[in-house]
Amino acid sequence: MTEVDASRCPLCGKSNDCGQLLPAVTSTAAEQGCNGNADCWCFQAAIPRHLLDQIPPELRGKACICQTCASAAAAEAAALGFDASGTPSS
């Protein structure tokens, strides 16, 4: 079994730029079990459900999708007339 690299997208293998993986910015935040970087690009992103479903089961919840994969999937869904949740757009 190989070790999961949480800094890599489980779909394309490129850096996912996860804000949660950045070093703690304050000792207080680190003591509280937080890395001090509460914001990550994905918190504001609409990631299509079908993209999340493509993550291999052994990597789910262990590595984040990158912005490139998320943006491409969102654009593809929009072009097909769906929103990020997979619901047809009105």
7-31 pLDDT, tens digit each: 999 999 999 888 888 765 444 444 4
Which pLDDT value is given to residue 29? 43
Whether this prediction's pTM lies above 0.85 is answered by no
Confidence of residue 2 (pLDDT cuts 50, 70, 90): low
Give long-range contacts, CB 8 A cutoff, 24+ apart: 52-56.
54/11, 55/10, 55/11, 56/10
Q: Are 82 and 24 in contact (CB under 8 A)?
A: no
What would the pLDDT profile of 35-62 be if each residue is shown by its tens digit? Answer: 445 578 888 888 888 899 999 999 888 8
Which pLDDT value is given to residue 27? 45
Comparing 59 with 3, which gets the higher pLDDT?
59
